[in-house]
Amino acid sequence: MRFDKPRTFRQSISWVHTWAGLLLGWLLFAVFVTGTLSFFRNEITLWMQPELHRAHDDGHAAANALRTLERVGSGAQQWTISLPGPRSNVVNLSWREAQPEQAQGSQSRGGGRQQPGLHRAVMDPATGELIEARQTAGGNFLYRFHFELYGMDRAWGRWIVGIATMFMFVALITGVIVHRQIFRDFFTFRPAKGKRSWLDAHNASGVLSLPFHLVITFSGLMLLGSMLMPTAVSSAYPEDSAAYGRELRGLGNAAPAPRATGEAAPLTAIAPLLAEGERRWPDAGVGSIVVTHPGDAGAIIELRQARGDSLANRAATERLLFNGVSGKLLDAPPAAEPSTVRAIQNVLSAVHLGRFASPLPRWLLFLSGVLGSLMVASGLVLWVVSRAKDAPSAEPSLAPIPRGHRLVQVLNIAAVAGLMIAIAAYFWANRLVPVEQAERNLWEIRTFFSAWGLTLIHALLRRHKRAWIEQLVAAGALFAALPLLNTFSGGAHLGHSLASGQWQVAGFDLTALACGLLLFFAARGVIRHVPRVRPGKAAPAARPATRSPRPAEATAAQAPLPLPLRC
């Protein structure tokens, strides 16, 4: 666009959309793809620990866990048992040893940080055996990369992703404005029509799940909001910014922990307590058990509901408190009602993080994320396609491609197909790096970035079309073979996981297979692609018969444009 001439509003907006989208598009694609995968973070981590695949729940998980904890965690101050559920097939145990001087309130800080005196273990629900799983970066790496990238200060990564999110928001809004016929073209996709097809694909993937894109982008901004706009907090809480966090979390009303009596007494049987929990929460069930002062006469057993049935009060699930020795119900505190502001924030963050247990809405979010990734990728390709019309010939062009266009071509290949290779390579590294390797998780991550770097070099060295084909085929092969790799490297293969209802593992394998097939399909599209010629030139003879336009559409075809993916 020229700035020395008058231009229409739509042209200006279109310019903003194009360049905001292009500059951050490569990063946004990575953020979208890793974010989409993060909806299944737990499942990915489970797949990456094949030692856990064979574990299954036979209904005695809680009793087995208590028996195991008596063995390994006797004398601990508190036991926590996370029971198997739709997203986990194992029992996660943790026990906290009594600390001489432990300040109340310092316990729940700092997510993954190692706390003194805290032990964690994974247990097979049926046997009660502790399972030693391999060290892996798991789904957590993809999750962290999604919002703070890697290899830099966390704050920097968050700032970069935050700015990209802002651009995404701008691109969404400008995209709706420049879309010419958002209602008339709502369902329109015209395949094999060059630039028109890419524009249709970009529009359709954007419009058809526009509510999702808006919600996910806005809530993403909100999650990073207090960092992007710190003055909002510091002006409302001038003296004490920690008060903001306390007020946000609704802390300050936690009941003081009961004291131990020092008298030894055995724990009551857990089954009747669980039955009471199941009676009160028929849908959600019991999610976790916390035993305070186990083995003491003052023991307390707390059952927590598996999940809230509302997004508005996310952490506030219902609880049941029992006397740990007599088994008498002491208290059933209701879930705390969040304030309106907090409820809105909870809803948005719960949607963004997919904080609910049932798999169906999670899959819907995943599919919307896939659409969003396709939207970004098709937009990136569209940039190249739109500019390819400058070169009029459909022959393998001898005219030099402008340097900027070549740069975008190369970055597109590495950012889209290359990222797919990198992610697949990450999963391969998970199985091929020896189990006893020190810093195993780091080797997985190193493989991810090495593979990604190699795809960039490959894209630089190869011709545009060849590079796309080779990388798409490589990514497709790596993904499609993941179920096989899983079979031969100690995981539960599809026959086993499907037959025994291991949906977390089976879901990963099937999704990898589907992803591989889609990548092959995309590669086939590029291989079969023959550039269209402008009117007046002879049509290429080798036009694939399957792509011939239908009679009704052939007459309406716009001036054909040469396509970008020139050999």
Residue 554 CB, nearest distance to another protein (Å)? 14
* Residue 180 lies near another protein (rule: CB under 8 A): no
User: Residue 396, interface with another protein (CB under 8 A)?
Assistant: no
85 binds another protein (CB under 8 A): no
Count the Cβ atoms, other than its own, within 10 Å of residue 451: 23
Task: Give the contacts of 13 (CB within 8 A, at least 6 positions apart).
Answer: 174, 177, 178
The helix (run of H) or strand (run of E) holding residue 120 is strand 118-123
Q: How far is the CB of 193 from another protein (least distance, A)?
A: 11
Length of the chain: 567
Q: Which stretch binds another protein (CB under 8 A): 132-140, 208-216, 387-395, 479-487?
A: 208-216
CA distance linking residue 352 with residue 223, whole number of Å: 9
Q: Does 448 bind another protein (CB under 8 A)?
A: no
Using CB under 8 A as the binding criterion, the count of chain residues that bind another protein stands at: 30
Residue 93 tokens, joined: 């145990």
In order of 59, 66, 258, the CA distances from 52 in angstroms are 17, 20, 36
Q: Which of 131, 248, 312, 445 binds another protein (CB under 8 A)?
A: 312
- CA atoms of 25 and 313, how far apart (whole Å): 34
Taking the C-alpha atoms of residue 409 and residue 70, their distance in angstroms, rounded to an integer, is 61
**Quick check: 310 binds another protein (CB under 8 A)?**
yes
Per DSSP, the three-state class of 85 is strand
| Residues 354/371, Cβ–Cβ less than 8 Å | no
Q: In what order do the strands lie in the sheet with 91-97?
A: 130-131, 118-123, 91-97, 76-82, 286-292, 300-305, 319-323, 329-331
CB of 149 to another protein, least distance (A): 28
- Residue nearer to another protein on the CB measure, 115 or 197: 197
Decide if residue 503 touches another protein (CB under 8 A): no
Nearer to another protein by Cβ, of 208 and 265: the residue is: 208
Q: How far is the CB of 345 from another protein (least distance, A)?
A: 13
For residues 182 and 297, which CB has a smaller minimum distance to another protein in the complex? 182
Residue 212 binds another protein, judged by CB under 8 A: yes
524 binds another protein (CB under 8 A): no
> Which stretches of 226-350 are assigned E, i.e. beta strand?
286-292, 300-305, 319-323, 329-331
Binder of another protein out of 186, 269, 432, 439 (CB under 8 A) = 186
Residues 6+ apart with CB under 8 A from 398: none
437 within 8 A of 445, measured Cβ to Cβ: no
Cα 149 from chain centroid (whole Å)? 13
| Segment lying near another protein (by CB under 8 A), choices 101-109, 113-121, 207-215, 451-459 | 207-215
187 touches another protein (CB under 8 A): yes
Q: Contact with another protein (CB under 8 A): which of 56, 190, 440, 537?
A: 190
Query: Would you count residue 513 as binding another protein (CB under 8 A)?
Result: no
For residue 212, the minimal CB distance to another protein (Å) is 6
- Identity of the residue numbered 267: L
Report if residue 345 touches another protein, rule: CB under 8 A: no
CB neighbourhood size of 530 (10 A): 17
**Among residues 176, 208, 290, 533, which is the contact residue for another protein, using CB under 8 A?**
208
User: Looking at 24-32, 304-312, 427-435, 457-465, which segment touches another protein (CB under 8 A)?
Assistant: 304-312
Q: Is 209 in the site for another protein (CB under 8 A)?
A: yes
Residues near 323 by beta carbon (within 8 Å), at least 6 away in sequence = 268, 299, 300, 301, 330
351 binds another protein (CB under 8 A): yes
- For the bound state, the minimum distance from the C-beta of residue 308 to another protein, rounded and expressed in Å, comes to 9
Residues in the site for another protein, rule: CB under 8 A?
A: 184, 186-191, 204, 208-209, 211-212, 215, 309-312, 347, 350-351, 356, 358, 360-361, 364-365, 367-368, 371, 552
